[in-house]
Structure 1
Amino acid sequence: MPITMTTAQRVRAALRGEPVDRVPLCFWHHFRPQGSGERLAEETFEFFKSKFDLDIVKIMPDLPYPEPEEAISDVSQFQSLPQLDLDTPVFQEQLRCIRTLRMQLGPDYPLILTLFSPLTYLFNFMGENFSGKQRVIEGARQQPAAIEKGLAIVAANLQNLMRAAIEAGASGIFFSCMGATSADFTPEEYRRIARPYDLEALKGAQGGWLNIVHIHAAPSQDGDDIHFEQFTDYPVSVLSWSDRVTGPELSEAMELTSKCLMGGLWERGPLTHGSETEIENEILSAITQTKGHRLILANGCSIPDDTSEEPLHIVRRLVDQLS
């Protein structure tokens, strides 16, 4: 093992479960690129590379998948979602962002594009609130044909975008999945309704080496459990979730999968407002639970955009000292 690894060497070793010089680190929040891929690339490079020198550069979903032109008020409308090609302006801006960052970072630096699952986009189209999400869930149970048609359309669009993203220079896709929680669908329902379209979309990411599934549980859903084991056979290298908010703990997950784990930092805990001792304890806990193997130290969900940078700098410094 080299005394000091490059970021790519470090992350690749973590994926394989091999020794690392220190645990890989990543954290993130959202930006406001105002529709510009160049602007998003600029803000992304400044935060991930210039300011914190993190091991993974994560392009946030701040150039969002296009909303339908007609507001969705009934699940039957999902059958008429548009098929989007790569000339779609926001897709072009995402690809421009990837190409710009790849030129700046060089050929090997881990670079991932954040996209949501087809089901997550349907939730968003119905309205980013609890009632809209519940209408999609009930629609999936009562009008499955309409939901499945919409999922298929979005999955095909995402597959093409993912393939183009990898070709443009992304190392992989950070694929965030909502709905796989005890507050939403049962494990059997998620497997039947959402999984086929998750897998269809992910076919576009086959050329990437750093594909990550994030299993999302809303912070407001107290006591919500994710269906972690539904994702252990997804064609990705890494599983991400808010392990400090919902189960399983990292130590439990080590027994449930051979994939690399991404977590250990509570996005609304010490990472955002804790003392140095609290931050150190959280880092040490994650490293102890995994013995520092198969771990990318990261927050679960995005940290608040107005978070002070002081605890982030503490995290960055401590990772070098403690690993």
Structure 2
Amino acid sequence: MLSKHDLLLATIARKPTPHIPIALWRHWPAEDQVAEDLARATLDFQQRYDFDFIKLTPSQVFVAEDAGLTGVYEGNPEGDLVKNAAPITSLEQWEALRPQTIQQGALARQLRCLQLVIAGANETPVIQTIFNPLTVAACLAGERAILWRRRYPEIFQRGFAMLIETWRNFVEAVISAGAAGIFFSTADATYRRMSEEEYMRWGRPSDLEVLSAARAGWFNVLHIHGEDLMFKLVADYPVQVLNWDDRRAGPSLREGQALVSKAVAGGIGQWGALLQGSIEEVRAQVADGIAQTGGVGYIAAPGCVMPIPTPERNIRAAISAARGNASG
């Protein structure tokens, strides 16, 4: 029987495997303010379902928490926080940005959480969620970040370079802590947020700088968030797996897999079949994902974070559907 490590390596290489790897993930809005609480919630979730890897999902404000960003959980089923006002309100504050320390504050807390999860994971690979620098900029300055990027690009670049350095340092620390890789999320590679020209100037270069710090990881996942995706502009990112909401946003798994030499993760509609559907609908989506990919180079997964109220029966149906099918 293949270990989870070897199962994922074979999947990345698009080799036949005894069964399809599977993982689901969610937010923990009540636990994610304390390293030990988030680690315990994450490990309990893993112990209950035995996924093939663990995606560690931090607080949605941790990227700008040390600058003053706060948020309140008001019951959103996805676990989203209602964020309070962005802490940076002037170009002077933006230009004064310096690399954030990872030895204290929110980033140190998250590294502590990661270490606890790795120690308790029983050799299950662990990946840490990382948000791309443009997302961090939006958390720090809100819509002003877009305005400054367009009107004052040289000033914006000076502060932006500090963000990139911070997240390169953090990613290096994540890999050094023993993570298998990172789950790198970009919400900007979409025509709904910017043009291709803007993304090629601001999104792609900064993404690649941060991703370069994860090069020692063997299981890096790119999550392309949103709809109307610039899929081809990120398809060659230096990661081993691509994940996107194929059920809602497209392209399909078959179309996406044809564009890359990497593994693909998805196929399970988190707001449709997984949350609201029957056991049979969940199993059918996993089976369809296997059919689209030939069961090779495929990880059964949601297109984004799983809603908190997802029924346990549907989670278990997805697991049994993945592990009951062999690709060779």
Structures share a fold, TM > 0.5? Answer: yes
Report deviation, 1:74: 4.5
Q: Label 1:76 to 1:22 Cα distance change in 2 as closer, same or farther (>3 A).
A: farther
Give 1:209's aligned residue. 218
Q: Label 1:150 to 1:301 Cα distance change in 2 as closer, same or farther (>3 A).
A: farther
* Matched letter for residue 40 of structure 1: L
Tell me the SS of whatever aligns to 1:175. strand
Taking the aligned partners of 1:39 and 1:121, their CA distance within structure 2 comes to: 24
Report deviation, 1:80: 2.4
Give 1:173's aligned residue. 182
2:312 to 292, 309, 313: 309
Q: Label 1:297 to 1:76 Cα distance change in 2 as closer, same or farther (>3 A).
A: farther
* 1:72 correspondence with 2:88: yes
Q: Label 1:230 to 1:75 Cα distance change in 2 as closer, same or farther (>3 A).
A: farther
Tell me the SS of whatever aligns to 1:153. helix
Give 1:44's aligned residue. 42
Taking the aligned partners of 2:286 and 2:102, their CA distance within structure 1 comes to: 41
Structure 1 portions without partners, runs of 5+: 218-223
* Matched letter for residue 23 of structure 1: I
Q: 1:49-92 deviations in whole A, cap 9, x for unaligned?
A: x1110001111022712332482234664322332122122222
Give 1:239's aligned residue. 242
Give 1:286's aligned residue. 289
Give 1:160's aligned residue. 169
Give 2:157's aligned residue. 148
* 1:295 correspondence with 2:293: no
Give 1:112's aligned residue. 127
Give 1:221's aligned residue. none
1:96 to 87, 101, 112: 112
Q: 1:128-181 deviations in whole A, cap 9, x for unaligned?
A: xxxx3xx43343222222332232111111111111111111110101011111
Taking the aligned partners of 2:219 and 2:52, their CA distance within structure 1 comes to: 12
Tell me the SS of whatever aligns to 2:299. strand
Contact 1:76 1:146 in 2 (8 A): no
Q: Label 1:21 to 1:76 Cα distance change in 2 as closer, same or farther (>3 A).
A: farther
Report deviation, 1:259: 1.0
Contact 1:75 1:136 in 2 (8 A): no
- 306-315 vs 287-296, which deviates more? 306-315
Give 1:17's aligned residue. 14
Q: 1:227-263 deviations in whole A, cap 9, x for unaligned?
A: 0111122111111111111121111112111011111
Q: Label 1:150 to 1:216 Cα distance change in 2 as closer, same or farther (>3 A).
A: farther
* 1:123 correspondence with 2:135: no
Report deviation, 1:203: 2.1
Contact 1:171 1:208 in 2 (8 A): yes
Give 2:146's aligned residue. 137
Structure 2 portions without partners, runs of 5+: 69-85
Tell me the SS of whatever aligns to 2:55. strand
Report deviation, 1:316: 1.5
Tell me the SS of whatever aligns to 2:246. coil
Aligned length: 306
Tell me the SS of whatever aligns to 1:38. helix
Q: Label 1:146 to 1:301 Cα distance change in 2 as closer, same or farther (>3 A).
A: farther
* Matched letter for residue 13 of structure 1: A
1:82 to 98, 102, 105: 98
Q: Label 1:147 to 1:240 Cα distance change in 2 as closer, same or farther (>3 A).
A: farther
RMSD: 1.8
Contact 1:171 1:209 in 2 (8 A): yes
Taking the aligned partners of 1:16 and 1:75, their CA distance within structure 2 comes to: 46
Report deviation, 1:34: 4.7
* Matched letter for residue 162 of structure 1: V
Contact 1:81 1:150 in 2 (8 A): yes
Taking the aligned partners of 1:300 and 1:141, their CA distance within structure 2 comes to: 31
Taking the aligned partners of 2:202 and 2:166, their CA distance within structure 1 comes to: 18
